[in-house]
Amino acid sequence: MLHIQWFPGHMTKALRMMEDSVKSVDCIIYVLDARAIESCMNPKFDNIIKNKPVLYIINKQDLVEKQDLQSWQKYFIANNMDFVIADSVSGKQKDLIINKLKELNKKIIEKYANKGAIKSVRAMVVGVPNTGKSTLINSLCKQKRAITGNRPGVTRGKQWVSLAEGVDLLDTPGTLAPAYDDQERAKNLAFIGSIKDDVVALDDLTIEMINFFRNYNPRLFCERYKLEALSDDNIEVLGQIAKNRGFLLNKNNYDYDRVYRAVIDDFRKQKFGKIMLDFPKDK
Ligand SMILES: Nc1nc2c(ncn2[C@@H]2O[C@H](COP(=O)(O)OP(=O)(O)OP(=O)(O)O)[C@@H](O)[C@H]2O)c(=O)[nH]1
Ligand SMILES: [Mg+2]
Protein backbone atom coordinates (compact mmCIF):
# COMPACT_ATOMS: atom_id res chain seq x y z
CA MET A 1 0.00 0.00 0.00
CA LEU A 2 1.18 3.44 -0.88
CA HIS A 3 1.08 6.19 1.68
CA ILE A 4 1.91 9.45 0.08
CA GLN A 5 2.06 12.78 1.81
CA TRP A 6 4.24 15.62 0.65
CA PHE A 7 3.67 19.10 1.99
CA PRO A 8 7.01 20.80 2.52
CA GLY A 9 7.36 24.28 4.02
CA HIS A 10 7.59 26.00 0.66
CA MET A 11 4.05 24.86 -0.17
CA THR A 12 2.61 26.36 3.01
CA LYS A 13 4.40 29.58 2.14
CA ALA A 14 3.21 29.44 -1.46
CA LEU A 15 -0.43 28.97 -0.44
CA ARG A 16 -0.16 31.98 1.87
CA MET A 17 1.37 34.02 -0.93
CA MET A 18 -1.50 32.96 -3.22
CA GLU A 19 -4.13 33.90 -0.60
CA ASP A 20 -2.50 37.30 -0.47
CA SER A 21 -1.96 37.80 -4.20
CA VAL A 22 -5.46 36.73 -5.21
CA LYS A 23 -6.79 40.01 -3.85
CA SER A 24 -4.99 41.91 -6.58
CA VAL A 25 -5.86 39.73 -9.59
CA ASP A 26 -8.91 39.70 -11.85
CA CYS A 27 -9.03 35.98 -12.59
CA ILE A 28 -7.44 32.59 -12.15
CA ILE A 29 -5.80 30.27 -14.67
CA TYR A 30 -6.06 26.74 -13.24
CA VAL A 31 -3.64 24.38 -14.99
CA LEU A 32 -4.50 20.67 -15.00
CA ASP A 33 -2.62 17.68 -16.45
CA ALA A 34 -4.92 16.02 -19.00
CA ARG A 35 -3.79 12.57 -17.80
CA ALA A 36 -5.18 13.08 -14.29
CA ILE A 37 -7.65 15.97 -14.34
CA GLU A 38 -9.57 15.00 -11.22
CA SER A 39 -6.42 14.28 -9.23
CA CYS A 40 -5.00 17.69 -10.20
CA MET A 41 -7.92 19.48 -8.55
CA ASN A 42 -6.55 20.70 -5.23
CA PRO A 43 -9.24 21.38 -2.58
CA LYS A 44 -6.76 23.82 -1.01
CA PHE A 45 -7.33 26.14 -3.99
CA ASP A 46 -11.13 26.23 -3.58
CA ASN A 47 -11.12 28.95 -0.98
CA ILE A 48 -8.45 30.99 -2.71
CA ILE A 49 -10.18 31.10 -6.09
CA LYS A 50 -13.82 31.16 -5.01
CA ASN A 51 -14.62 34.80 -5.85
CA LYS A 52 -12.77 35.01 -9.18
CA PRO A 53 -13.55 33.85 -12.68
CA VAL A 54 -11.53 30.73 -13.48
CA LEU A 55 -10.14 29.59 -16.82
CA TYR A 56 -9.16 25.91 -16.67
CA ILE A 57 -6.32 24.84 -18.93
CA ILE A 58 -6.44 21.12 -19.66
CA ASN A 59 -2.75 20.96 -20.44
CA LYS A 60 -0.56 18.22 -21.94
CA GLN A 61 -3.34 17.19 -24.31
CA ASP A 62 -0.65 15.59 -26.44
CA LEU A 63 -0.24 12.93 -23.73
CA VAL A 64 -3.81 11.57 -23.95
CA GLU A 65 -6.08 10.24 -26.68
CA LYS A 66 -8.46 12.81 -28.14
CA GLN A 67 -11.54 10.66 -27.61
CA ASP A 68 -10.70 10.22 -23.91
CA LEU A 69 -10.96 14.00 -23.51
CA GLN A 70 -14.53 14.06 -24.78
CA SER A 71 -16.09 13.01 -21.49
CA TRP A 72 -14.15 15.80 -19.77
CA GLN A 73 -15.27 18.37 -22.33
CA LYS A 74 -18.86 17.40 -21.57
CA TYR A 75 -18.16 17.59 -17.86
CA PHE A 76 -16.68 21.09 -18.01
CA ILE A 77 -19.52 22.34 -20.21
CA ALA A 78 -22.19 20.76 -17.96
CA ASN A 79 -20.62 22.42 -14.93
CA ASN A 80 -20.28 25.84 -16.60
CA MET A 81 -16.51 25.77 -16.29
CA ASP A 82 -14.55 27.76 -18.88
CA PHE A 83 -11.69 25.75 -20.31
CA VAL A 84 -9.12 25.46 -23.07
CA ILE A 85 -7.52 22.17 -24.07
CA ALA A 86 -3.85 22.89 -24.67
CA ASP A 87 -0.35 21.63 -25.15
CA SER A 88 1.82 24.37 -23.77
CA VAL A 89 5.06 23.13 -25.25
CA SER A 90 3.67 23.88 -28.73
CA GLY A 91 1.99 27.12 -27.63
CA LYS A 92 -0.58 26.74 -30.42
CA GLN A 93 -3.46 27.84 -28.21
CA LYS A 94 -2.02 31.26 -27.42
CA ASP A 95 -4.69 33.34 -29.21
CA LEU A 96 -7.51 31.16 -27.94
CA ILE A 97 -6.34 31.49 -24.34
CA ILE A 98 -5.86 35.26 -24.53
CA ASN A 99 -9.29 35.70 -26.13
CA LYS A 100 -10.91 33.54 -23.45
CA LEU A 101 -9.20 35.56 -20.73
CA LYS A 102 -10.48 38.80 -22.21
CA GLU A 103 -13.97 37.34 -22.62
CA LEU A 104 -13.91 36.24 -18.98
CA ASN A 105 -12.99 39.79 -17.89
CA LYS A 106 -15.16 41.62 -20.41
CA LYS A 107 -17.12 43.62 -17.84
CA ILE A 108 -14.12 45.09 -16.09
CA ILE A 109 -12.34 45.81 -19.38
CA GLU A 110 -15.44 47.67 -20.61
CA LYS A 111 -15.74 49.57 -17.36
CA TYR A 112 -12.24 50.93 -17.80
CA ALA A 113 -12.76 51.56 -21.51
CA ASN A 114 -15.80 53.69 -20.72
CA LYS A 115 -13.53 55.91 -18.67
CA GLY A 116 -11.01 56.03 -21.51
CA ALA A 117 -8.57 53.75 -19.73
CA ILE A 118 -7.03 50.46 -20.79
CA LYS A 119 -7.30 47.66 -18.26
CA SER A 120 -4.72 44.94 -18.39
CA VAL A 121 -6.07 41.61 -17.22
CA ARG A 122 -4.24 40.21 -14.22
CA ALA A 123 -4.35 36.42 -13.86
CA MET A 124 -2.86 34.18 -11.19
CA VAL A 125 -1.72 30.82 -12.57
CA VAL A 126 -2.32 27.95 -10.13
CA GLY A 127 -2.01 24.18 -10.21
CA VAL A 128 -0.41 21.18 -8.53
CA PRO A 129 3.33 20.69 -9.25
CA ASN A 130 4.57 19.83 -12.74
CA THR A 131 1.32 20.51 -14.65
CA GLY A 132 3.06 23.01 -16.93
CA LYS A 133 2.20 26.39 -15.38
CA SER A 134 5.55 28.00 -16.14
CA THR A 135 5.66 26.40 -19.61
CA LEU A 136 2.22 27.83 -20.34
CA ILE A 137 3.35 31.31 -19.28
CA ASN A 138 6.44 31.05 -21.50
CA SER A 139 4.32 29.90 -24.44
CA LEU A 140 1.98 32.88 -23.99
CA CYS A 141 4.79 35.42 -23.94
CA LYS A 142 6.83 33.49 -26.53
CA GLN A 143 9.91 33.86 -24.37
CA LYS A 144 11.55 31.71 -21.75
CA ARG A 145 10.74 33.96 -18.80
CA ALA A 146 9.74 31.41 -16.19
CA ILE A 147 11.94 28.48 -15.18
CA THR A 148 10.53 25.07 -16.13
CA GLY A 149 11.61 21.45 -15.57
CA ASN A 150 10.19 17.95 -15.65
CA ARG A 151 10.07 17.45 -11.89
CA PRO A 152 7.83 18.91 -9.19
CA GLY A 153 8.80 22.00 -7.22
CA VAL A 154 10.63 23.91 -9.96
CA THR A 155 8.97 27.30 -9.39
CA ARG A 156 9.62 28.58 -5.89
CA GLY A 157 8.80 32.28 -5.63
CA LYS A 158 6.13 34.34 -7.36
CA GLN A 159 6.86 35.92 -10.71
CA TRP A 160 4.87 38.39 -12.80
CA VAL A 161 5.13 38.17 -16.58
CA SER A 162 3.50 40.83 -18.80
CA LEU A 163 2.24 40.04 -22.27
CA ALA A 164 2.08 42.59 -25.07
CA GLU A 165 -1.64 41.77 -25.42
CA GLY A 166 -2.49 43.49 -22.14
CA VAL A 167 -2.40 40.45 -19.90
CA ASP A 168 -0.27 40.09 -16.76
CA LEU A 169 0.36 36.58 -15.48
CA LEU A 170 1.48 35.58 -11.99
CA ASP A 171 3.40 32.30 -11.89
CA THR A 172 3.07 30.42 -8.60
CA PRO A 173 4.80 27.33 -7.19
CA GLY A 174 2.90 24.06 -7.59
CA THR A 175 1.15 23.09 -4.39
CA LEU A 176 -0.55 19.90 -3.21
CA ALA A 177 -3.13 19.20 -0.54
CA PRO A 178 -1.54 18.84 2.93
CA ALA A 179 -2.89 15.29 3.20
CA TYR A 180 -4.56 12.85 0.85
CA ASP A 181 -7.36 10.81 2.39
CA ASP A 182 -7.92 9.50 -1.09
CA GLN A 183 -4.67 7.72 -1.90
CA GLU A 184 -5.97 7.00 -5.40
CA ARG A 185 -5.46 10.69 -6.18
CA ALA A 186 -2.04 10.74 -4.54
CA LYS A 187 -1.06 7.67 -6.56
CA ASN A 188 -2.11 9.28 -9.84
CA LEU A 189 -0.17 12.43 -8.94
CA ALA A 190 2.90 10.28 -8.24
CA PHE A 191 2.44 8.48 -11.59
CA ILE A 192 2.48 11.78 -13.53
CA GLY A 193 5.45 13.18 -11.60
CA SER A 194 3.60 15.74 -9.51
CA ILE A 195 4.96 14.33 -6.27
CA LYS A 196 8.68 14.20 -5.71
CA ASP A 197 10.05 10.69 -6.18
CA ASP A 198 12.15 11.03 -3.01
CA VAL A 199 9.01 11.01 -0.89
CA VAL A 200 7.44 8.03 -2.62
CA ALA A 201 8.69 4.49 -2.04
CA LEU A 202 9.67 3.53 -5.59
CA ASP A 203 9.09 -0.17 -5.00
CA ASP A 204 5.53 0.52 -3.86
CA LEU A 205 4.94 2.91 -6.74
CA THR A 206 6.16 0.31 -9.24
CA ILE A 207 3.89 -2.33 -7.73
CA GLU A 208 0.99 0.11 -7.99
CA MET A 209 1.84 0.54 -11.66
CA ILE A 210 1.83 -3.23 -12.21
CA ASN A 211 -1.53 -3.42 -10.41
CA PHE A 212 -2.79 -0.59 -12.59
CA PHE A 213 -1.84 -2.41 -15.80
CA ARG A 214 -3.32 -5.66 -14.52
CA ASN A 215 -6.68 -3.87 -14.63
CA TYR A 216 -6.09 -1.47 -17.49
CA ASN A 217 -4.34 -3.56 -20.11
CA PRO A 218 -1.97 -6.36 -19.06
CA ARG A 219 -1.00 -7.00 -22.70
CA LEU A 220 0.56 -3.54 -23.01
CA PHE A 221 2.72 -4.19 -19.98
CA CYS A 222 3.74 -7.68 -21.11
CA GLU A 223 4.69 -6.47 -24.59
CA ARG A 224 6.96 -3.79 -23.20
CA TYR A 225 8.94 -6.22 -21.02
CA LYS A 226 8.55 -9.33 -23.16
CA LEU A 227 6.58 -11.24 -20.54
CA GLU A 228 4.47 -14.21 -21.60
CA ALA A 229 1.72 -13.30 -19.17
CA LEU A 230 1.28 -10.94 -16.26
CA SER A 231 1.70 -13.06 -13.15
CA ASP A 232 -0.49 -12.38 -10.09
CA ASP A 233 2.68 -12.38 -8.05
CA ASN A 234 4.18 -8.86 -8.30
CA ILE A 235 7.59 -9.92 -6.98
CA GLU A 236 7.75 -12.54 -9.71
CA VAL A 237 6.88 -9.85 -12.29
CA LEU A 238 9.70 -7.62 -10.99
CA GLY A 239 12.10 -10.57 -11.25
CA GLN A 240 11.01 -11.37 -14.81
CA ILE A 241 11.59 -7.76 -15.88
CA ALA A 242 15.03 -7.75 -14.26
CA LYS A 243 15.89 -11.01 -16.01
CA ASN A 244 14.64 -9.93 -19.45
CA ARG A 245 16.36 -6.57 -19.22
CA GLY A 246 19.56 -7.93 -17.73
CA PHE A 247 19.26 -5.78 -14.60
CA LEU A 248 21.61 -7.76 -12.36
CA LEU A 249 23.59 -6.75 -9.27
CA ASN A 250 25.65 -9.90 -9.66
CA LYS A 251 25.17 -13.41 -10.96
CA ASN A 252 22.60 -14.32 -8.35
CA ASN A 253 20.78 -11.08 -7.56
CA TYR A 254 18.48 -8.87 -9.52
CA ASP A 255 18.91 -5.09 -9.49
CA TYR A 256 15.36 -4.19 -8.45
CA ASP A 257 16.12 -0.47 -8.24
CA ARG A 258 16.76 -0.40 -11.98
CA VAL A 259 13.46 -2.19 -12.55
CA TYR A 260 11.58 0.45 -10.53
CA ARG A 261 13.26 3.28 -12.42
CA ALA A 262 12.59 1.66 -15.80
CA VAL A 263 8.86 1.06 -15.18
CA ILE A 264 8.24 4.53 -13.73
CA ASP A 265 10.21 6.29 -16.49
CA ASP A 266 8.51 4.21 -19.18
CA PHE A 267 5.13 5.32 -17.88
CA ARG A 268 6.14 8.97 -17.77
CA LYS A 269 7.67 8.80 -21.25
CA GLN A 270 4.47 7.34 -22.74
CA LYS A 271 6.22 4.06 -23.57
CA PHE A 272 2.91 2.30 -22.81
CA GLY A 273 1.04 4.77 -25.02
CA LYS A 274 -1.26 7.65 -24.14
CA ILE A 275 -2.98 6.81 -20.89
CA MET A 276 -5.69 8.78 -19.11
CA LEU A 277 -5.91 7.95 -15.42
CA ASP A 278 -9.01 9.93 -14.39
CA PHE A 279 -12.45 10.04 -15.95
CA PRO A 280 -15.32 12.23 -14.73
CA LYS A 281 -17.30 10.54 -11.95
CA ASP A 282 -20.63 12.38 -12.13
CA LYS A 283 -21.88 13.06 -15.60
N1 LIG B 1 4.12 16.80 -23.33
C2 LIG B 1 3.91 17.98 -22.73
N3 LIG B 1 4.75 18.39 -21.76
C4 LIG B 1 4.51 19.59 -21.18
C5 LIG B 1 3.42 20.41 -21.55
N6 LIG B 1 3.45 21.53 -20.77
C7 LIG B 1 4.52 21.39 -19.97
N8 LIG B 1 5.17 20.23 -20.20
C9 LIG B 1 6.36 19.70 -19.51
O10 LIG B 1 6.02 19.48 -18.17
C11 LIG B 1 7.16 19.70 -17.32
C12 LIG B 1 6.79 20.65 -16.20
O13 LIG B 1 6.61 21.95 -16.73
P14 LIG B 1 6.68 23.26 -15.81
O15 LIG B 1 6.16 24.37 -16.67
O16 LIG B 1 7.98 23.40 -15.16
O17 LIG B 1 5.57 22.88 -14.71
P18 LIG B 1 5.08 23.76 -13.47
O19 LIG B 1 3.62 23.52 -13.35
O20 LIG B 1 5.51 25.17 -13.62
O21 LIG B 1 5.84 23.02 -12.29
P22 LIG B 1 6.19 23.58 -10.79
O23 LIG B 1 6.78 24.93 -10.94
O24 LIG B 1 7.15 22.57 -10.29
O25 LIG B 1 4.90 23.54 -10.05
C26 LIG B 1 8.26 20.22 -18.25
O27 LIG B 1 9.11 19.14 -18.58
C28 LIG B 1 7.51 20.71 -19.46
O29 LIG B 1 8.27 20.65 -20.64
C30 LIG B 1 2.54 19.95 -22.58
O31 LIG B 1 1.54 20.57 -22.95
N32 LIG B 1 2.84 18.72 -23.12
MG1 LIG C 1 6.67 26.31 -12.45
- At residue 217 the predicted structure's pLDDT band, cuts being 50, 70 and 90, is very high
Pairwise CA distance, residues 178 & 144, whole Å: 31
Q: Kindly give the distance from the C-alpha atom of residue 227 to the centroid of ligand 2, in angstroms, as a whole number.
A: 38
pLDDT for residue 282: 63
Q: Kindly give the distance from the C-alpha atom of residue 149 to the centroid of ligand 2, in angstroms, as a whole number.
A: 8
Using most ligand atoms within 8 A of CB, pick from 130, 267, 271 the residue to mutate for ligand 1.
130
Q: Kindly give the distance from the C-alpha atom of residue 160 to the centroid of ligand 2, in angstroms, as a whole number.
A: 12
pLDDT tens for 3-25 read: 888 888 999 999 999 999 999 99
pLDDT tens for 181-197 read: 889 999 999 999 999 98
List ligand 1's pocket residues with C-beta within 6 A. Answer: 59-60, 62-63, 87-89, 127, 129-135, 148-150, 152-155, 173-174
Measured from the Cβ of residue 239, the count of other Cβ atoms closer than 10 Å reads 16
Pairwise CA distance, residues 228 & 243, whole Å: 13
Ligand 1 atom showing the smallest separation from residue 171 Cα: 20
Please give the model's pTM, rounded to 2 decimal places: 0.96
Pairwise CA distance, residues 105 & 82, whole Å: 12
pLDDT tens for 109-120 read: 999 999 999 999
Using most ligand atoms within 8 A of CB, pick from 89, 125, 176, 194 the residue to mutate for ligand 1.
89
